[in-house]
Amino acid sequence: MQAQLLAIDLDGTLLDAEHRVPERNRAALHRAHDSGIKIVLCTGRAFTETRGIIEQIGLDLDATVTVFGALVTEVSNGQTLHRTEMTPELAADVCTWFRARGYPVLWLNDPNQCGHDGYAIDGPNRHPAVDAWLARTSCVVHQVPEMPTDAPPPLRLSIIDEEHKLDEVSMHLARDFDGRLTHNVLHAPPYRLSLIESFAHGVSKWRGIERLCERWGVDPQRTVAIGDDVNDIDMIRHAGLGVAVANAKPAVHDVADRTVASNNDCGVADLIDALLSDQ
The one-character DSSP state at 246 is T
Ranges of beta strands (E only) in 113-174 are: 118-121, 141-144, 156-161
List all residues 6 or more positions away from 265 whose beta carbon is below 8 Å from its beta carbon: 246
- All domains of the chain in start order, with CATH: 5-83+204-277 (3.40.50.1000), 88-200 (3.30.1240.10)
As a whole-number percent, the residues of the chain with pLDDT over 90 amount to 94
At residue 1, the pLDDT reads: 72
List all residues 6 or more positions away from 258 whose beta carbon is below 8 Å from its beta carbon: 241, 242, 243, 244, 271
As a whole-number percent, the residues of the chain with pLDDT over 70 amount to 100
Task: Please tell me the chain's helix, strand, coil percentages from 3-state DSSP, rounded to the nearest 5.
Answer: 40, 25, 35
What are the tens digits of pLDDT across the range 192-239? 899 999 999 999 999 999 999 999 999 999 999 999 999 999 999 999
The vertex-220 CA angle with 219 and 223, nearest 5°, equals 100
At residue 279, the pLDDT reads: 66
What are the tens digits of pLDDT across the range 94-116? 999 999 999 999 999 999 998 99
Region 35-57 average pLDDT: 96
Q: Is the pTM of this model over 0.75?
A: yes
What integer best gives the mean pLDDT of the chain?
A: 96
**Res. 255: pLDDT tops 70:** yes
**Res. 21: pLDDT tops 80:** yes
**Res. 190: pLDDT tops 90:** no
The one-character DSSP state at 139 is S
CB 8 within 8 A of CB 226: yes
At residue 10, the pLDDT reads: 97
Label residues 232-257 b or e (16+ Cβ within 10 Å = b).
bbbbbebbbbbbbbebbeeebeebbe
Residue 39 CA to residue 225 CA, distance in Å, equals 10
List all residues 6 or more positions away from 270 whose beta carbon is below 8 Å from its beta carbon: 260, 261
CB 266 within 8 A of CB 25: yes
